[in-house]
Amino acid sequence: MQRVLVTGARGFIGRHVVRHLLDRGLEVHGIVRADDGSARDVVCHAADLTVPGTASAVVRQMRPDALIHLAWIATPGQYQTSPENLHWVEATLELHRAFAAVGGERAVYAGTCLEYDWSYALLDEQSTPLAPKTPYGLAKARSGELLLDTNRLGGPGVSWARIFYLYGPYEKRGRLVSDVIAAVLSDHEIECTDGRQQRDFMHVSDVARALVATLMSDHVGAVNIASGVCRPVSSIVDEIVRQTGGGELVKVGARPSPPNDPPRLAASTSILRDKIGFRPAFDLAEGIANTIDWWRQQLGARP
């Protein structure tokens, strides 16, 4: 494995994946919507994969040995129900066909924990059924099923990475950690739910390392990308407040929890831990500190 293609290379996860691949001395090619020239040591290809024929043309041009596919609609507040999910299913399947045609060896595709049946408290790759409730989750689940089925037919080895909750540098506003940190550092109040629901959050750099580790492994099949630690969401907000001293700005319990919000969504990480051999590098305190530092730089806030 020498040449790796990363779609969504300038996205929240993608830029971290690229960095970890470069650290391994690999030749990295990235597909981006627009090349602003800021990427170093990466060959960037500006392309819209949702345009039919684009994925095939780009893959034939670069002939990668390996593929990490991250590109998909991810706009906060829109991606769950957007009709663009259908376009991304088509683009993903075209990408895989092209990758197989040029002799690609290993591919990791980004799925989501929203594929699972959330009536189960522990979400396990081998035993928990899939029952997505949104167009986004359904599009990911069906794409994953089709791609994983190709493992029995030969061709590239496929891993389907179901990513759980994440946070860290370069996360857009509109999500919990980025919104709370940005509000506190800007001296603005922010309303939160009571945070009793328990979730598995992992720092984005660890998510990226887990994806790269999966690519480098011989695992084919589904794998959860998560820390293995399920905690109340309020504990994450508490850690932000502890490190920023902005407790008076965070109004816990001021917002109602979403209807039918599951009380606990824990990820089984036995495949990631035992078969792929991955361990997270960041604990919660270190991850939040790293994210706060990044937001301070973005906002020009004083320590």
Supply the pLDDT for residue 41.
Answer: 75
- What tens digit of pLDDT does each residue of 113-140 get? 999 999 998 999 999 999 999 999 999 9
Q: Is residue 275 part of a domain?
A: no
| Position 239 pLDDT exceeds 80 | yes
Q: Is 238 left (phi over 0), alpha (psi -120 to 50) or beta?
A: alpha
**Residue 108 backbone dihedrals phi, psi, to 5 degrees:** -120, 125
Least confident span in 32-41, 44-53, 172-181, 233-242: 32-41
Domain holding 195, by residue range, is: 167-199+229-265+283-299
Answer yes or no: do 148 and 88 share one domain. Answer: yes
Supply the pLDDT for residue 95.
Answer: 98
Q: Is residue 278 part of a domain?
A: no
CATH number at residue 142: 3.40.50.720
Count: domains in the chain: 2
- What tens digit of pLDDT does each residue of 94-108 get? 999 999 999 999 999
Q: Which amino acid appears at position 268 of this protein?
A: S
Q: Is residue 120 part of a domain?
A: yes
Q: Is residue 173 part of a domain?
A: yes
Mean pLDDT, all residues of the chain: 94
Answer yes or no: do 159 and 237 share one domain. Answer: no
Answer yes or no: do 159 and 238 share one domain. Answer: no
Q: What is the DSSP string of 193-250?
A: ----SEE-EEEHHHHHHHHHHHHHS---EEEEES-S--EEHHHHHHHHHHHH--GGGE
Q: Is residue 172 part of a domain?
A: yes
CATH number at residue 171: 3.90.25.10
Answer yes or no: do 183 and 73 share one domain. Answer: no
Answer yes or no: do 110 and 177 share one domain. Answer: no
Tokens at residue 171, please?
Answer: 């996360």
Q: Is residue 238 part of a domain?
A: yes
| Position 36 pLDDT exceeds 80 | no
Percentage of residues in the chain with pLDDT exceeding 90?
A: 88
Tokens at residue 153, please?
Answer: 């037919």
- What tens digit of pLDDT does each residue of 55-76 get? 999 999 999 999 999 999 988 8
Answer yes or no: do 141 and 125 share one domain. Answer: yes
Answer yes or no: do 71 and 160 share one domain. Answer: yes
- What tens digit of pLDDT does each residue of 205-230 get? 999 999 999 999 999 999 999 999 99
| Position 40 pLDDT exceeds 70 | no
Q: Is residue 248 part of a domain?
A: yes
Q: Is residue 274 part of a domain?
A: no
Answer yes or no: do 134 and 119 share one domain. Answer: yes
